[in-house]
């Protein structure tokens, strides 16, 4: 995993913090939550209950593999909590395995707005299912900087309306970053949330498949500049292949 270091960064876990002591020392020093392993526990189950990723849990406890033992004390790592509500909401969904083959990045093209505003706009444009995207990541104006809002289509697991191509609407998870990236780069916190979300969707979410990364203009060729010239496409392609 080339993303381990980046993952730590996005989760707000300092490498220096991880270097000191064992889990219990670390927990005491930082007032962190711990979990004592009982029969039947799995890393995935513990991670899900605490709204953290399995990767973060393993890193925080220096686990080389998924084996845990009854009585073992695990530190529950702090997260920037940007993903906790997404993990929790997704845990309750009935997701068709293998369906979500792509993650499609978008920009909103304007600096104002949030999931609710875009949902209302899409409805006015005749989309009966409202917000065309699955997720919207705020820029600090009408939602938090880096806040991930979950759209109703994700919660209902229905087709998106974010591209013209029906196949990609049926098999692509639409993620919209608020802003006009023809004019500026996305914010640091927005991109941290974006990569945290895409890392999780690819590596840990219960999708039964690892979705490929793409952007709107690669799907609807010659139709849009979305997500804008300043979206770090090359960097993301390098990260996600």
CA–CA gap between residue 196 and residue 228 (Å, rounded): 20
Asked if the bond preceding 63 is cis, omega within 30° of 0, the reply is: no
String of contacts with Zn ion for each residue 57-96, x by CB under 5 A = ----------------------------------------
- 189 near Zn ion (CB under 5 A): no
Contact 47, 61 (CB under 8 A): no
CA–CA gap between residue 36 and residue 69 (Å, rounded): 9
The distance of closest approach from Cβ of residue 10 to Zn ion in the complex, given in angstroms and rounded to an integer, is 23
The distance of closest approach from Cβ of residue 231 to Zn ion in the complex, given in angstroms and rounded to an integer, is 10
SS3 6: helix
What angle is formed at CA 39 by the lines to CA 55 and CA 96, rounded to 5 degrees? 50
Residue count, binding to Zn ion (CB under 5 A): 3
Q: Is 140 left (phi over 0), alpha (psi -120 to 50) or beta?
A: left
Q: Which stretch binds Zn ion (CB under 5 A): 23-31, 194-202, 219-227, 233-241?
A: 219-227
User: Would you say 195 or 224 has its CB closer to Zn ion?
Assistant: 224
* Near Zn ion in 102-121, by CB under 5 A: 106
Q: Which of 148, 226, 228, 231 binds Zn ion (CB under 5 A)?
A: 226
Q: Which stretch binds Zn ion (CB under 5 A): 9-17, 101-109, 111-119, 139-147?
A: 101-109
Interface ranges with Zn ion (CB under 5 A)? 106, 216, 226
């Amino acid at each position: 995993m080339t993303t381990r270091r980046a993952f730590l960064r996005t989760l707000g876990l300092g490498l220096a913090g991880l270097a000191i002591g064992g889990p219990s020392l670390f927990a005491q020093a930082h007032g962190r939550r711990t979990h004592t392993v009982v029969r039947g526990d799995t890393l995935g189950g513990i991670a899900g209950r605490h709204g953290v990723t399995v990767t973060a849990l393993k890193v925080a406890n220096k686990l080389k593999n998924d084996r845990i033992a009854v009585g073992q004390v695990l530190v529950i790592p702090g997260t920037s909590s940007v993903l906790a509500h997404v993990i929790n909401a997704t845990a309750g969904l009935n997701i068709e395995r293998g369906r979500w083959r792509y993650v499609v990045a978008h920009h909103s093209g304007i600096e104002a707005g949030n999931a609710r505003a875009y949902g209302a706009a899409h409805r006015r444009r005749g989309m009966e299912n409202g917000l065309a995207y699955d997720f919207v990541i705020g820029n600090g104006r009408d939602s938090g900087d880096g806040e991930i809002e979950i759209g109703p289509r994700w919660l209902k697991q229905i087709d998106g309306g974010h591209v013209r191509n029906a196949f990609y609407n049926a098999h692509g998870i639409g993620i919209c970053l608020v802003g006009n990236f023809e004019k500026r780069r996305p914010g640091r916190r927005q991109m941290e949330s974006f990569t945290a979300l895409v890392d999780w969707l690819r590596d840990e979410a219960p999708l039964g498949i690892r979705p490929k990364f793409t952007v709107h203009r690669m799907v609807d060729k010659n139709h849009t500049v979305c997500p804008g010239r300043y979206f770090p496409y090359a960097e993301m392609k390098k990260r996600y292949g």
